Amino acid sequence: MGNIRATFRSQCDNSHAMDARIPSSNNESPWLPFESRRRARDEKREAVLRTAVALFLEQGYHGATLNEVAKRLNITKPALYNYFRGKDEILYECWSIGNELVDDCIAETSAGGGSGLDKLRKLIVRYAELMTADYGKSLVRFDIHDLSEDNRKIVQTAKRRIDRAFRDYITDGVKDGSVKACDPKLAAFAIAGSLNWIGHWFQPDGELTGRAVAEEFAIRLTEGIAETTTQVTSTRKTTTRKAAAPAAQKADKPPRKGNASREETSEHHARTAADAAGQSKRARSRLR
Amino acid sequence: MGNIRATFRSQCDNSHAMDARIPSSNNESPWLPFESRRRARDEKREAVLRTAVALFLEQGYHGATLNEVAKRLNITKPALYNYFRGKDEILYECWSIGNELVDDCIAETSAGGGSGLDKLRKLIVRYAELMTADYGKSLVRFDIHDLSEDNRKIVQTAKRRIDRAFRDYITDGVKDGSVKACDPKLAAFAIAGSLNWIGHWFQPDGELTGRAVAEEFAIRLTEGIAETTTQVTSTRKTTTRKAAAPAAQKADKPPRKGNASREETSEHHARTAADAAGQSKRARSRLR
DNA sequence: CCCGTATATTACCCATGGGTAAGAAATAGT
DNA sequence: ACTATTTCTTACCCATGGGTAATATACGGG
């Protein structure tokens, strides 16, 4: 679920006045131009990431400099090194947040129950919407070669896990009769490809909302493999309602142990070994 | 790391005219280790591009150095500047070749005739197969930010043109009854996304051939929008012209507005102003 | 053979930008 | 207030790798 990382509380919530100087306009940096500081460390860390991911997407990882990132935050480059070991770690962390968001999607979807097709569509909707936002885009726009060796491995592992989710839902669907017989591998590739591509073309200021794209894609991408012809209104077809079994736990993620097949995956993503353990809390303030 | 070794061997075994010696093993570089030269200029130019595109894909554009490119060709870095102005131009040329291949696909497909659906499928097959090879991959793996300003514009223009082809075929299909009513823009995005993604996951040494993927995708990606339920064997026809009454609105969630001017495109690609004229012959040996 | 041109080599330049060192400014604790 | 700690700044380092200059080698033609 949207854990703490959704800390969008404005930095103008200054209860006891004092430094009530509102930054000239925007809602970004917690660093007022070199004066009153003192805001939670994690909050600053996230501000760095927000700025970095936006800049990386805007100018490319190599086109964006740390000086520019710092400048947008009203600080200087070395200050960034209080929160990150280097540029590539910033890149990785951006990616990691996106990956956690995806993990949450998968967890929710798996917990939600329903037929294979139902789950597939739910995942598509959520995943697609992620791809319209910065952290989601980072999953598909950043180059794996720019990561450290270790992080690259993590990313590749996560790729496989996400691909696995798509394939599993499809396989489930074939079994429960909601999905036509097909090759789960290729079908997953096709679907993931369409979704990932959103991260390349979607523009927030366009005429389409992320939500609209997501819902359209949920139908479009499953039209070909859905066993029952999809009528407009019936998103919940699945005549063979498999007794909504596992509504059980809410948003807790099953460890989802990834086996190790040496196959290609339709994804790129990962997470740290740390949070690979379980919760996708964004509370790790590791460093140094 | 001096290549002293290569430099001094030139005068040892000069059996003058007998430079028919086959390089130790591979089939790559026209430059035998600094001795008999004299091969067509264009051939060398293309050898540079072949090597460069492979290396860029392998290590990333920024991870690959010109020294490494040169080394693989048995030459030194400055020699590359006889054929290209700089690294970014090499990148662009790689991209450009891929783009020309796509253009050829579109040209052939358009010339072939058939229903909108037929053309769409033909394009999918050809395009998909391109995506399994190096130059095709370069279309979707290279970052537009690494290009010069001018080349970037060319690329973006070409993106739009390719996207246009997909949309046009879909629109044609809707008109001639071979394709269900749908939003051509989103449908094109979805299809192009799946196809472009091939460039990210396909491995030539995998279990699938490019051809197999291509044909599978041609069916899979059009299953949802084909008017006639596709029997695997019937790639042609459009028999049951389901009356123009096109399945009404199937999955209408969003406003579903028509087109617009300043839209996103589902592609990235381009070509030089030169060959934008017509033929995509590979004969331009421009430089300096 | 000798020269001109194309092509390649060696040796070098140098801007860029990630990263570091040392110390100042702010904060928290006592 | 004094000190310890964290955070941030100024001032620098320096490796990397794209790009250039000067020069050497091969070839083709006369």
B268 interface with A at CB cutoff 8 Å:
yes
Nearest to A120 by CA among A220, A10, A252: A220
Distances in Å between the Cα of A253 and the Cα atoms of A105, A111, A125, A201, A248 are 10, 8, 19, 30, 12
Nucleotide in closest CA–C1' contact with A79: D8
Nearby residues of A159 by Cβ (< 8 Å), 6 or more positions away = A265, A266, A267, A268, A269, A270
Q: How far is CA A66 from CA A53, A56, B67, B123, B257, in A?
A: 12, 10, 27, 43, 41
With the CA atoms of B78, B84, B89 and B95 taken in that order, what torsion angle do they form, in degrees rounded to the nearest 10?
A: -120
Contact B196 A191 (CB under 8 A): no
Hey, are the CB atoms on B193 and A189 less than 8 Å from each other? no
Best CA proximity match to A170, nearest among A148, A152, A158, A188: A188
Structure tokens at A111: 């917990």
Task: Name residue B192's amino acid.
Answer: A
Q: B28-84 in CATH: which number?
A: 1.10.10.60
In terms of Cα–Cα distance, which of A122, A159, A112, A149 is closest to A267? A159
Helices and strands (H, E) in chain A, number of each type: 9, 0
pLDDT score at A264: 63
What gap in Å lies between CA B41 and CA B39, rounded to an integer? 6
Domain boundaries, chain B: 28-84, 97-223
Where residue A243 falls (left for φ over 0; alpha for ψ -120 to 50; beta otherwise) is left
Q: Tokens 């040496």 sit at which residue? A: A262
> Which residue among B60, B216, B253 sits closest to A212, beta carbon to beta carbon?
B253
Instruction: Point out the residue among A197, A220, A224 whose CB comes nearest to the CB of B220.
Output: A224
Check whether B28 has a pLDDT greater than 80: no
User: In one letter, which amino acid is A230?
Assistant: T
Interface test with A, best of B253, B257, B261, B267 (most A CBs within 10 A): B253
CATH number for the region B97-223 comes to 1.10.357.10
Cα A179–Cα A184–Cα A185 angle in degrees, nearest 5: 160
What's the one-letter identity of residue A159? K
Interval B5-31 mean pLDDT: 43
CA-nearest residue to A235 within chain B is B251
Q: What is the pLDDT of residues B133-175, one digit of tens each?
A: 999 999 999 999 999 999 999 999 999 999 999 999 999 999 9
**Rounded to whole angstroms, how far apart are CA atoms B244 and B181?**
9
* Number of Cβ within a 10 Å radius of residue B28: 14
Q: In B, which residues are within 8 Å of A194 by CB distance?
A: 189-191, 193-194, 197
- Stretch 227-266 of chain B: residues touching chain A, C-beta under 8 Å: 248-255, 257, 260, 263-266
More confident: A77 or B34: A77
The answer to whether the beta carbons of residues B247 and B236 sit under 8 Å apart is no
C-alpha–C-alpha distance, residues B231 and A23, integer Å: 62
Q: For all residues of chain B together, what is the average pLDDT?
A: 78
Distance of CA B69 to the CA centre of its chain: 21
Determine the distance between B87 (CA) and D24 (C1') in angstroms: 25
Q: Which CATH superfamily is domain A99-223 in?
A: Tetracycline Repressor, domain 2 (1.10.357.10)
Place of tokens 């500047």: B81
Question: Tell me, in Å, how far CA of B6 is from C1' of D30?
Answer: 33
How confident is residue B13, by pLDDT bands cut at 50, 70 and 90? very low
DSSP assignment string, B153-185: HHHHHHHHHHHHHHHHHHHHHHHHTSB-S--HH
Q: For each of chain A's 288 residues, which pLDDT tens digit applies? A: 333 333 333 333 333 333 333 444 445 676 765 455 556 788 999 999 999 999 999 999 999 999 999 999 999 999 999 999 999 999 999 999 999 999 999 999 999 989 999 999 999 999 999 999 999 999 999 999 999 999 999 999 999 999 999 999 999 999 999 999 999 999 999 999 999 999 999 999 999 999 999 999 999 999 989 887 544 443 443 444 444 333 333 322 333 233 334 456 666 443 443 343 333 443 333 333
Q: How confident is the model at residue B263 (pLDDT cuts 50, 70, 90)?
A: low
CA–C1' distance B73–C12 (Å)?
23
Which has the closest alpha carbon to B202: B124, B131, B123, B101?
B131
User: Taking a contact as any Cβ pair under 8 Å apart, which residues of chain A between 185 and 214 contact chain B?
Assistant: 186-187, 189-198, 200-203, 206-209, 212-213
B30 vs A70 pLDDT, higher one: A70
The two structure tokens encoding residue B97: 């070749």
CA A53, A141, A189: angle at the middle one, nearest 5? 140
pLDDT score recorded for residue B117:
97
For residue A23, what pLDDT is reported?
A: 42
Find all residues with CB under 8 Å of A144, minimum gap 6, and list them.
A152, A155, A156, A268, B60
CB contact under 8 A, A264 and B192: no
Distance set, CA A6 to CA A90, A97, A118 (Å): 18, 11, 27
Contact B73, B47 (CB under 8 A): yes
- Res B247 pLDDT > 90: no
- A134-141 and A41-59 helices, crossing angle to 10°: 50
How many angstroms separate the CA atoms of A272 and A92, rounded? 9
